[in-house]
């Protein structure tokens, strides 16, 4: 497999409400930051790909707005996925592996504050039987949490730990939205939204944007002596029918682990796209990360920009490897209710 490296990542400070800033004004600073850092501009980018969601923005074709942030004169090779930007990165990686590009710019953006995220995400379900019931994303996650608690795969203590740790770790990420610490009694006193989840178990409503630049291994050496390479990457989707899935395990993640030969593999660090508290201990146990520092950035519980959080997990893993004397990192991105669609990214820093 032709190797591809991440050579840059930037994240806009996560906001609870971006106010008058529109998508273009959120994207431009992160893209420019990356260009300045690497000393390049759009002419050095062979392929551009973005991830966003029209329904999140509130209008058909709304994703086109994002492209105004990019220099498109002369016309560029560009595409877009209506998915988390982690998948835009995946598409860009394939372009490089094909030989059709040496560098790619990826960006994601999302403002959850303008709309009602619960209602919007209900439209991800079967439109004939399920969506008309308007099952919100918190209740759907709660279904899975209940299954995991009943089977003792996850405990309430672990959920509490996930919440507390996330806030402790958020000090490591200057862009995090939430950084105030909480204690056990505050957590336990919090009203349940959809049992067993309370507000702390859920990610905050977030606005923001993120960008990443990837390059072929050869090209990466023009920018760094120690490129951080994508050693392995795999993603799979499960059935949309919740009733036909075993919510206490993840067939898609297990299949990716097998395919990437990551069973019993030792990572130094990991960032998981775990939006709800219980997902963290669940995935750590599935992915063999119980002893691995995970979500040192705080993860989605302290800042969860829709359509970016998956890319952010990959970006934060990259940053951990780049800034520390660490060798191997694992990133996870997810889409759909109850972790329906998952991606694993195995990153390694050249020694």
Nearer to other proteins, 141 or 159 (CB): 141
Nearer to other proteins, 158 or 335 (CB): 335
Alpha-carbon gap, residue 215 to 203, rounded angstroms? 32
**Torsion over CA: 162, 167, 170, 175 (sign):** positive
CA neighbours closer than 13 Å in the CB half-sphere of residue 87: 19
Tokens of 165: 């740790």
CA neighbours closer than 13 Å in the CB half-sphere of residue 181: 7
Q: Residue 216: phi, psi to the nearest 5?
A: -60, 155
Nearer to other proteins, 101 or 269 (CB): 101
Tokens of 134: 């308007």
Residue 165 and residue 184 in contact, taking contact as beta carbons nearer than 8 Å? no
What's the closest the beta carbon of residue 197 comes to other proteins, in angstroms?
A: 21
Residue 31 and residue 85 in contact, taking contact as beta carbons nearer than 8 Å? no
Tokens of 203: 């990610």
What's the closest the beta carbon of residue 303 comes to other proteins, in angstroms?
A: 20
Nearer to other proteins, 155 or 241 (CB): 241
What's the closest the beta carbon of residue 7 comes to other proteins, in angstroms?
A: 16
Nearer to other proteins, 105 or 163 (CB): 105
What's the closest the beta carbon of residue 91 comes to other proteins, in angstroms?
A: 6
Alpha-carbon gap, residue 317 to 330, rounded angstroms? 7
For the chain, report the end-to-end CA distance as a whole number of angstroms. 20
Nearer to other proteins, 167 or 273 (CB): 273
What's the closest the beta carbon of residue 203 comes to other proteins, in angstroms?
A: 18
What residues pair up with 106 in beta bridges, in sequence order?
49, 212
What's the closest the beta carbon of residue 276 comes to other proteins, in angstroms?
A: 17
């Amino acid at each position: 497999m032709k190797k591809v490296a991440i050579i840059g990542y930037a994240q806009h400070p996560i906001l609870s409400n971006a106010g008058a800033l529109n998508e273009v004004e959120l994207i431009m600073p992160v893209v420019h930051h990356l260009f300045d850092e690497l000393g390049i501009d759009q002419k050095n980018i062979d392929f551009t790909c973005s991830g966003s969601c029209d329904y999140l923005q509130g209008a058909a074709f709304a994703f086109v707005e994002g492209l105004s942030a990019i220099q498109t004169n002369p016309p560029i090779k560009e595409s877009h996925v209506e998915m988390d930007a982690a998948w835009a990165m995946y598409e860009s990686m394939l372009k490089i592996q094909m030989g059709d590009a040496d560098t790619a710019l990826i960006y994601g953006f999302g403002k959850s504050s303008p709309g009602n995220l619960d209602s919007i995400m209900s439209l991800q379900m079967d439109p004939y039987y399920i969506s008309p019931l308007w099952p919100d994303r918190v209740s759907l996650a709660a279904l899975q949490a209940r299954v995991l608690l009943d089977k003792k795969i996850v405990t309430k203590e672990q959920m509490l730990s996930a919440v507390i740790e996330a806030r402790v770790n958020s000090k490591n990420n200057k862009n995090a939205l939430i950084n105030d610490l909480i204690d056990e009694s505050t957590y336990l006193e919090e009203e349940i939204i959809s049992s067993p989840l309370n507000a702390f178990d859920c990610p905050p409503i977030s606005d923001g944007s993120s960008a990443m630049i990837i390059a072929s291994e050869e090209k990466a050496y023009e920018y760094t002596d120690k490129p951080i390479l994508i050693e392995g990457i795999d993603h799979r989707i499960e059935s949309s029918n919740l009733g036909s899935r075993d919510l206490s395990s993840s067939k898609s993640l297990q299949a990716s682990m097998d395919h990437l030969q990551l069973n019993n593999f030792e990572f130094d660090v990991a960032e998981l796209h775990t939006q709800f508290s219980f997902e963290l201990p669940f995935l750590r146990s599935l992915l063999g990360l119980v002893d691995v520092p995970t979500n040192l950035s705080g993860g989605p519980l302290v800042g969860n920009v829709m359509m970016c959080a998956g890319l952010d997990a990959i970006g934060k893993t990259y940053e951990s490897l780049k800034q520390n004397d660490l060798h191997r990192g694992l990133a996870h991105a997810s889409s759909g209710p109850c972790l329906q669609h998952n991606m694993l990214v195995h990153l390694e820093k050249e020694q």
